[in-house]
Structure 1
Amino acid sequence: MRTLDFAPLLRSSIGFENLNRLVDFATRGEGDAYPPYNIEKLNDGEYRISMAVAGFSQDEIDVTVQDNVLIVTGQGADETDTGERQFLHRGIAKRAFERRFQLADVIKVTGASYEHGLLNIALVREVPEHKKPRKIEIGGSAHVQPAAIEGEVRQAA
């Protein structure tokens, strides 16, 4: 069973429009494991993705974030000296690649570095103020209408 129907769940939920896309992305599977990577949790709210991109220079790697998707692409330069070099064994793969990582809304990419054949991408969890827990005071009145809503109603009238 490769396809899942989430329509019954999505009918009674609000704000989970990306759930279907995320599950589809996860069930697709990794067809190609190149290049290998690690995802590390450095401490509370800080993460790092390390990708082994041996043979690539910084100019041949592109890191882009678009619509909560981190896209890392590598485009190896054309080797014009293949006539001068004769490989008896070529184990360092320098083929083009694209690797995608789905990011949560609160995860931000803060930077990237390249050292010793490893591309390191720093990520941090930034929870906006409106998503942080807040204390709601309980009033004594049995019928309480929020002031913000009253103000909106009065402005609309």
Structure 2
Amino acid sequence: MARIHRGFKSAFAENHRLADGTFHKYGMSLRGFLHHARAVALSLDGHHRNEEANIFPVLARTHPAFARSSAHVASHRVIHDGLERYNAYLDKASADPGSYNAAEFRAVIDSFKEPMEKHLDQEVRDLEPSTLRLMGVTVEDLKRLPF
């Protein structure tokens, strides 16, 4: 999980960095950059949906950090709201490439960057083996996870 979460943080940081047109140095057009940026958002959204459908319910039986009313689920909602703004901006820029503005796109990323990164880091800490053992998650519980 730590590697996956580092990958999300890195991908959003890369989109932020390349937003000023630096993407051209890597052979991407604006259209290609916007497509890449959307793929990152879709991947994070799918990751969260999988966690909520398949992982959190198993862990929530003994680990309160993953209950339906937990901070993790609340964080997913905050991040999802940010992804909605992010995708809306990508929709606008894709429909009218002349409207693309790096500062605006970076502001959208900045609007949810901190809660996203804090959440990704906290989730990794809550999934560390020592934390899982402390919360009573058993090997049998882990075997029920879909991976």
TM-score range, shorter chain: under 0.3
Higher strand content, 1 or 2? 1
Higher helix content, 1 or 2? 2
Bigger radius of gyration among the two: 1
Answer 1 or 2: higher relative contact order, Cα 8 Å, separation at least 6.
Answer: 2
